[in-house]
Amino acid sequence: MDNKEILDSTFTLIKPKLEQNGYVVSDFKYIDYGFQFSIVRSLWKGVLRVYANKKQQIKYDLSQLKEEAIKNQIESILNENTSTEESNEVNKENNNETTSISFVPIIGTDESGKGDYFGPLVSAGVYVDLTTKPLLERIGVCDSKKLNDTQIKEIAQNIKKICVNQFSVIEISPETYNNLYNQFKSEGKNLNVLLAWAHAKAIEEVLTKVECENALSDKFADEKFIISKLQEKGKRINLRQEHKAEANIAVAAASILARERFLIKLKKLSMELGIELPKGASPHVIEQAKKVVEKSGEETLKKIAKLHFKTTDSVIK
User: How confident is the model over 218-227, as pLDDT tens digits?
Assistant: 887 666 666 6
User: Residues 17-30: pLDDT tens digits?
Assistant: 888 888 889 999 99
Amino acid, single-letter form, for residue 310? K
pLDDT band at 294 (very low <50, low <70, confident <90, very high): very high
Measured between alpha carbons, how far is 253 from 294 in angstroms, rounded to an integer? 39
Task: Delimit the CATH 3.30.310.240 region(s) of the chain.
Answer: 3-81
Whole-number pLDDT of residue 94: 41
Distance of CA 198 to the CA centre of its chain: 14
CATH superfamily name and code, 3-81: Bacterial toxin RNase RnlA/LsoA, N-terminal domain (3.30.310.240)
Alpha-carbon torsion, ordered 237, 157, 118, 291, to 10 deg:
-170
Residue 165 pLDDT > 50: yes
**For domain 106-268, which CATH number applies: 3.30.420.10, 2.60.40.10, 3.30.465.10, 3.30.1450.10?**
3.30.420.10
Residue 176 β-bridge partners? none
Alpha-carbon torsion, ordered 77, 82, 83, 85, to 10 deg:
-40
pLDDT band at 95 (very low <50, low <70, confident <90, very high): very low
Measured between alpha carbons, how far is 281 from 310 in angstroms, rounded to an integer? 9
Amino acid, single-letter form, for residue 160? K
Distance of CA 205 to the CA centre of its chain: 11
pLDDT winner (highest mean) among 186-200, 220-234, 239-253, 271-285: 271-285
CA angle 202–207–210, rounded 5-degree value:
130
Whole-number pLDDT of residue 130: 84
The pTM is what?
Answer: 0.69
CA 290 vs CA 176, 268, 279, 301: distances in Å: 22, 19, 15, 10
Task: Delimit the CATH 3.30.420.10 region(s) of the chain.
Answer: 106-268
Q: What is the mean pLDDT of residues 7-15?
A: 87
Whole-number pLDDT of residue 248: 92
User: Residues 66-93: pLDDT tens digits?
Assistant: 777 788 888 888 876 433 333 344 344 4
Phi, psi of 217 (to 5 degrees): -140, 165
Phi, psi of 39 (to 5 degrees): -130, 140
> How many alpha carbons fall within 13 Å on the CB side of residue 269?
25
CA 291 vs CA 53, 270, 305: distances in Å: 72, 12, 13
Residue 25 β-bridge partners? 39
Whole-number pLDDT of residue 228: 66
User: Residues 201-256: pLDDT tens digits?
Assistant: 999 999 999 988 889 988 876 666 666 667 666 667 888 888 888 889 999 999 99
Measured between alpha carbons, how far is 232 from 306 in angstroms, rounded to an integer? 31
Amino acid, single-letter form, for residue 266? L
